[in-house]
């Protein structure tokens, strides 16, 4: 039975690749398109597949591509939120289909590819967006925590590229956009596994870009900065800064998330800002695109002085961050407090 599971992805991939090749042969003009024509990116994609599209950056990207006329394949490990995104697109007059996908499962990728190819064809654009955060001192992380972080944030990107890149190469057309993070230039304490996964995604993307360029397939890496999503609430937090007091930790986490969602959109930290960057990278075939000023600043600082950047970031201990959050909590409460008599 184990042998069958190993053979299945190969059979599915080879079958799809053969049929994609046959389909591609019937479009000689497209196949013989000049390389410099394709290297400019894909301005008006016919179909876009996005991972982690049930919320946040993924959902904003799905809605933006749908408004541009693309059929969007919405995938997420959460079936309910994926369906919600597809319904939002349909309600706005767009076209979408939703699928459940665990990006850390390579067999699930192969099965998705088969379903998508049978029902929709080969995507013009693949956006590897799914990921989550782990905030924990390295010595407090278990082996499983580390493995799970890399399985989703890094292997999920690799599996997506391994599954769909061969089909795009056969079509001699396609754009892969991998979402990394500004953390790929941030040697910050307590982010060791998260930062490792993101810098690996960035370097993998740059390396793959050189390989696939000759086949008419572009590869971009988008590095977001601060984003007003549920990433804080959904992050796995393991720290001794609260002396084992789970209630204090939850209050701090909830307050930090509330600060992000309250002030983020006002300061331009909304997920749609990142979605615009993803669309721009797709249209122009940009290699690496930092999004938002703080990401450009972090990148510049790290390149100018890695040692100074690392020293500065090392000052952001959990105790100090918790102190800042506690100071901000009253301000947040005052902003959110309803005005007496304001309700109808």
Going by C-alpha positions, the residue among 166, 145, 191, 193 that lies closest to residue 15 is 166
**Catalytically annotated residue among 99, 114, 159, 194:** 194
Going by C-alpha positions, the residue among 212, 256, 207 that lies closest to residue 231 is 256
- Gap between the Cα atoms of 111 and 196, Å rounded: 29
Longest alpha-carbon distance in the chain: 70
CA distances from 284 to 1, 28, 37, 178 (A): 45, 25, 11, 15
- Gap between the Cα atoms of 318 and 309, Å rounded: 18
- Gap between the Cα atoms of 133 and 235, Å rounded: 5
Quickly list DSSP for 206-242. Answer: HHHHHHHGGGTEEEEEEE--S--SSHHHHSEE--STT
User: Phi/psi at 147 (nearest 5 deg)?
Assistant: -60, -40
- Gap between the Cα atoms of 59 and 52, Å rounded: 8
Catalytic status, residue 194? yes
Q: Which two tokens stand for residue 152?
A: 């989703």
**Active-site positions?**
194
């Amino acid at each position: 039975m184990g042998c069958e599971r190993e053979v299945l992805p190969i059979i599915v991939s080879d079958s799809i690749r053969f049929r994609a090749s046959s389909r591609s042969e019937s479009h000689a003009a497209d196949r013989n398109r000049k390389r410099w024509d394709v290297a400019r990116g894909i301005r008006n994609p016919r179909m876009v597949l996005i991972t982690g599209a049930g919320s946040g950056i993924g959902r904003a990207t799905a809605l933006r591509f749908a408004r541009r006329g693309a059929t969007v394949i919405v995938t997420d490990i959460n079936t309910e939120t994926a369906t919600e995104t597809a319904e939002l697109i349909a309600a706005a007059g767009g076209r979408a289909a939703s699928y459940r996908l665990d990006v850390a499962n390579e067999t699930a990728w192969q099965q998705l590819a088969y379903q998508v190819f049978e029902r929709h064809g080969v995507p013009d654009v693949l956006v590897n967006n799914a990921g989550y955060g782990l905030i924990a001192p390295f010595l407090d992380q278990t082996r499983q925590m580390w493995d799970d972080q890399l399985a989703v944030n890094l292997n999920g990107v690799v599996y997506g590229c391994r599954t769909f890149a061969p089909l795009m190469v056969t079509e001699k057309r396609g754009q892969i956009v991998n979402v990394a993070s500004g953390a790929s230039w941030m040697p910050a304490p307590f982010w060791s596994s998260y930062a490792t996964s993101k810098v690996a995604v960035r370097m993998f993307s740059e390396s793959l870009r050189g390989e696939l360029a000759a086949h008419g397939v572009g590869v971009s890496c988008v590095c977001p900065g601060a984003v007003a999503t549920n990433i804080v609430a959904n992050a796995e937090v393991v720290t001794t800064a609260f002396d084992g007091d789970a209630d204090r930790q939850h209050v701090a986490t909830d307050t930090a998330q509330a600060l992000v969602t309250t002030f983020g959109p006002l300061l331009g930290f909304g997920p749609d800002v990142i979605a615009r960057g993803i669309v721009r990278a797709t249209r122009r075939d940009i290699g690496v695109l930092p999004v938002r000023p703080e990401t450009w600043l972090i990148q510049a600082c790290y390149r100018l002085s890695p040692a100074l950047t690392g020293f500065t970031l090392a000052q952001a201990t959990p105790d100090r961050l918790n102190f800042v959050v506690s100071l901000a909590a009253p301000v947040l409460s005052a902003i959110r407090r309803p005005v007496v008599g304001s309700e109808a």
